[in-house]
Amino acid sequence: MSFKTTFYRIANPINKRFSFERFSQKLPFQDLILVYHLVSDADLKHAKHLFPYRSEKQFERDLDFLLKHFDFIDWETFLRNKIEKVKTKKPTILLTFDDGYSEFYDIIVPILKRKGIFAINFINPKFIDNKEMMWRNKASLIVSEIIDNELLQNKISKFQDFGSDLKTNINSILKINFKNQNQLDDIANHLEIDFNDYLKKNPVYLTTEQLINLKNDGFGISSHGWNHPLYNQLSLTEQLENTQKSLDYMKENQLSNDSFAFPFTDYLIDNQFFDNVFNENPKLKFTFGSAGLKLDSYPKNLQRIPIETGNYSAEEILKNEILYYQLLRKINKNKIIRS
């Protein structure tokens, strides 16, 4: 368990006693960037073991709270405020989503339209049109099928290095990384789980037609890497190639190529990557990590606040983030320093 997770658990019961107004006075920045993945009332086998996604009611409650205390802004306004250092009357929020899940089109956008809120979805082009399933979604689907099927539990216990302990087997599957993702295909073949069949029956990702419609409706579609790798497991050359391939896709399809959000995390990414990617892409304005309320030594890399942390509401997460930032500032740890 990380120190931040422990901090949330300790601080949250205390923070609940106080109104958000007391915390908002200590906001370190006037512009916040929030990130979700998806919203659904359904039991999504391909996502349920990866993060605690919001139900529709929970998402609407988040938005209603945020609308009371912040102004939601679009990408152009965000850029202008950043570049021109505009001071706003109220703190602002740029709303973002990752991974290009189909629920963005079917569930999230209708809610956002009703409330007049803009959002960007950072997508992985390799998975658009449901041509292939992302490796982490494969892991979640495999685990879901094993849990639901006793025959598969017996079958996985006889596969290679797996044993009889179900929890250990599940953890082993969920820990398979990007470099070893072929292991997930081997396991699926052994268990007779067909990823392509699942995608046909349950479209996981957005389609090209939906991307065009979203763009025409004024929503942002931008880059999240080509195939969702963990960047600190790649060489610098691989990092740059993966990023450039996704940005080229954006340009070729007349989508947004002026922003990029790291899959998972920008942890251990050094200045050389940023210098290269910004030099090669003059239209690129900002890149985004997801470390919460933090400064970054690379000025064009901005940190987003994940709003799917545990089972906390948006209000609880922001209270915890504000208090956590104040603690980090006292010990001079509120800024990511890159080499």
- Nearest CA to 54 out of 131, 107, 110 is that of 107
What are φ and ψ of residue 162, in 5° steps? -75, 155
End-to-end CA distance of the chain: 27
Burial of 91 (0-12, 13-18, 19+ CB in 10 A): middle
Question: Residue 1: is its pLDDT beyond 80?
Answer: no
Instruction: Output the average pLDDT for the chain.
Output: 96
pLDDT tens sequence across 218-260: 999 999 999 999 999 999 999 999 999 999 999 999 999 999 9
Instruction: Read off the pTM.
Output: 0.96
Question: What distance in Å separates the CA atoms of residue 42 and residue 61, rounded to the nearest whole number?
Answer: 18
What are φ and ψ of residue 95, in 5° steps? -95, 130
**Is residue 303 helix, strand or coil?**
strand
pLDDT tens sequence across 29-85: 999 999 999 999 999 999 999 999 999 999 999 999 999 999 999 999 999 999 999
User: Buried (b) or exposed (e) across 255-277, using 16+ Cβ within 10 A?
Assistant: bbbbbbbbbbebeebeeebbebb
pLDDT tens sequence across 99-119: 999 999 999 999 999 999 999
Contact 100, 120 (CB under 8 A): no
**Chain-centroid distance, C-alpha 338:** 22
Residues forming beta bridges with residue 31, ordered by sequence position = 92
Contact 93, 72 (CB under 8 A): yes
Question: What distance in Å separates the CA atoms of residue 68 and residue 166, rounded to the nearest whole number?
Answer: 45
**Is residue 301 helix, strand or coil?**
strand
